[in-house]
Structure 1
Amino acid sequence: MLIFWILIFILSLALLVKSADWFVESSEKIGLALKISPFIIGVTIVSIGTSFPELASSIAAVLKGASEIVVANVIGSNIANILLIVGLSAVMARILLVKRSLIDLDAPLLAAATGLFIFIMLDRKIVFGEGILLLLAFLVYFLYTIFQRREEIITPELVEVLPGGAEIKVLPSRAERRRKEIKEKPSKLNFRIFLFLILGIIGLAIGANYTIESVLKISEFLKISTALIAITAIAVGTSLPELVVSVRAAIKKKYEIALGNIFGSNVFNILIVAGIPALIKPLAIDNLTFLVGLPFLVIATLLFVISGISRRIHIWEGAMYLLIYILFIVKLLNLF
């Protein structure tokens, strides 16, 4: 039975991630067909779409009475985004170049969101009022982002000057490239769009439900906490698409891998993926998440922001990120 539920977990997670892609792509096309501004679509659907699997699984966890999974999922996903994805990308590419806008806008917002999240977590629970606070913080973040970037012109590549005078070409983030694509390719409504929208919604619901159900069964069989599975397997699983994209870019010698998706995804995870479920039911925070996950989240976020200030993430920094992630997993498993 254990093997059966592990298989269900893998299949459910795959369905969850793929359904999110279907939902986002269909929503983009419907928005364009309804003459909604491509910029608005870009900063809403495109920017937050990569976090839909985390949100769906978190809501399912709360509805199944396993609220401790939510915060573990958020923290695990954010740690994996930074230490695993950025670390592996830096090692593969040998150097990552960071856009100035990420340092001027996204890095401070990520630091502020993480700080708020930590403050709220100190009593080891997130209640309704705190969920409202997180959502209000996201509204401020969203409006500020729109205000700052409403005049932004997306180009295939940007030339920037690093400290020291060196000029570099920096590719826009995946979200930015997608915004450019949807701006250039107006959409017309057809049956296929609505079909994949419906399939995406159904897939998200089914995938999230069985992902959480399998986590509960696996934890029961192995006699381990559900938070341990959430902070590791679910977090890494929902981050796999971004990991694959980043590694592929590195292998193709596209050294200028942009990091905008990581900043945006981590902010969304903190403010929305934790905020919305807290409106349904208070979120519990177990010892593993609080004593191990939280300190590593702080370390990962600080390293990411500090590395970004230099606008370069070197191969040795990427290796350090990966070593810290391994240390994180080892600590979770209580091997030292």
Structure 2
Amino acid sequence: MISSILLFLLATLLLVGGSELVSRGTASMARHLSISETMIGMTIIAFSTSSPELLVNVFASAGDYPDIAFGNIIGSNIFNILIITGVIGLLCPFSVKRASVLKLLPFSIITTILFWIIINDVALFGSNHNELSRLDGGILVLGVFQFFLFYIIYQLALSHMKLTGGYALRVPDLLTKPFKEKEAEPEPDDKRGIIYTPVFSTIFFLIGIASLIIGGYLVVNEAVVISRDFGPSHKLLSLSFIAIFTSIPELTFSIITLRRGDNSLAAANLLGSNIFNISFVMGISAFIKPLSFNTALNTDMFILVLTSMMLYFLFSGKRVVKHWEATALIITYLAYLSFIVVRG
């Protein structure tokens, strides 16, 4: 039993370390290609920091552990909203000024509500059981995720054209020509971080992927063993321990970007990760194997929708997230943790 706990902790370290290496490798390669910082934050970094959730869900789905798959994503997104926003707000009151980031807020809410709808087949569609089917997975990946990518490119293009007086920018130019949005503040050179050689970037990426695969397999495997030997349900483990550990890369990146003074990039990563978790990670999970949805998780989904709307209020209007609001977010998460532990 002790060995299972130690292996679980080792697996989470592999996930966190692997995500960090993948993030460094991909971000460095993107900078070699002169891809804009906003695009890196919204896509490459957001997807890289969500790679632990992806690998855990791949193995959970393949092993037919739907509660782990759903709980991991729901718990991670709640953690991202309440803890990451709370921590960076405590470290330094901040506001989000980039228009393209702010416009992700309604998209995040709509994605979350759509996900909630398609997993409640019994109540809404009269089916025999609640399931995230392969068709639902196709809607998430080929519909929502693809639209998300288009949405980002479109918003960045709009911002650029406003600055250039309506110059029609081609998509390749948009990706490779950095520009400052109207609301963005001047960016010092050190914000771009360390740029590694292409060889080192590739090595980091490959080692990171290997660590993620091993870590993802061990997390699911040992979580099942711990649940069997100690009694906590798959639902409780995934909503709490697994969700927290797989969200550490997002938290780390957000703190680093905050220290560099780029609040909007931290918010872009948070929102991008949450959308990626639902649209791509859950979509791929359903492709691997249809997942039965435990209706007990509807309470957690309601909390996720509520916190997503709360984030809209906190970020919209370029208002500053104050210390007391950040503290309230953290206290809310601790209360949520207490609730799921008591519920079991």
Aligned to 1:56: 55
Deviation at 1:285, TM superposition (A): 2.2
Deviation at 1:289, TM superposition (A): 2.1
Q: Say if 1:7 and 1:171 are closer, same or farther in 2 by CA, change over 3 A.
A: farther
| 8 Å contact from structure 1 (residues 58, 277) kept in 2 | yes
- Write out aligned runs for 1:74-223 (5 A): 74-93=73-92, 95-101=93-99, 104-123=102-121, 124-135=130-141, 136-150=143-157, 151=160, 153-154=178-179, 160=183, 180=192, 189-190=198-199, 192-223=200-231
Amino acid corresponding to residue 239 of structure 1 in structure 2: S
Distance 1:315 1:63 in 2: 43
1:151-210 C-alpha deviation (Å, 9 max, x unpaired): 47455xx885xxxxxxxx8587xxxx87x558xx5x7543x4443333222211111000
Deviation at 1:145, TM superposition (A): 0.8
| 8 Å contact from structure 1 (residues 171, 256) kept in 2 | no
Amino acid corresponding to residue 117 of structure 2 in structure 1: F
- 1:226 aligns with one of 228, 234, 237: 234
Q: Say if 1:140 and 1:215 are closer, same or farther in 2 by CA, change over 3 A.
A: same
Is 1:306 aligned with 2:338? no
Which one has the bigger strand percentage? 1
Q: Say if 1:210 and 1:129 are closer, same or farther in 2 by CA, change over 3 A.
A: same
Query: Please, which runs of 5 or more residues in structure 1 have no aligned partner?
Result: 161-168
Distance 1:262 1:227 in 2: 23
Which SS does the other structure have where 2:321 is aligned? strand
RMSD in angstroms over aligned alpha carbons?
3.1
Query: Please, which runs of 5 or more residues in structure 2 have no aligned partner?
Result: 122-129, 161-173
Which SS does the other structure have where 1:99 is aligned? coil
* TM-score of the superposed pair, with normalisation by structure 1: 0.82
1:134-159 C-alpha deviation (Å, 9 max, x unpaired): 0121101101211221447455xx88
Aligned to 1:163: none
Aligned to 2:46: 47
Which SS does the other structure have where 1:313 is aligned? coil
Q: Say if 1:194 and 1:83 are closer, same or farther in 2 by CA, change over 3 A.
A: closer
Q: Which moved more, 1:265-274 or 1:197-206?
A: 197-206
* TM-score of the superposed pair, with normalisation by structure 2: 0.80
- Write out aligned runs for 1:227-266 (5 A): 227-247=235-255, 256=263, 258-266=266-274
Distance 1:171 1:272 in 2: 33
Amino acid corresponding to residue 86 of structure 1 in structure 2: T
Distance 1:194 1:245 in 2: 20
Distance 1:86 1:214 in 2: 30
Q: How many residue pairs align between the two structures?
A: 312
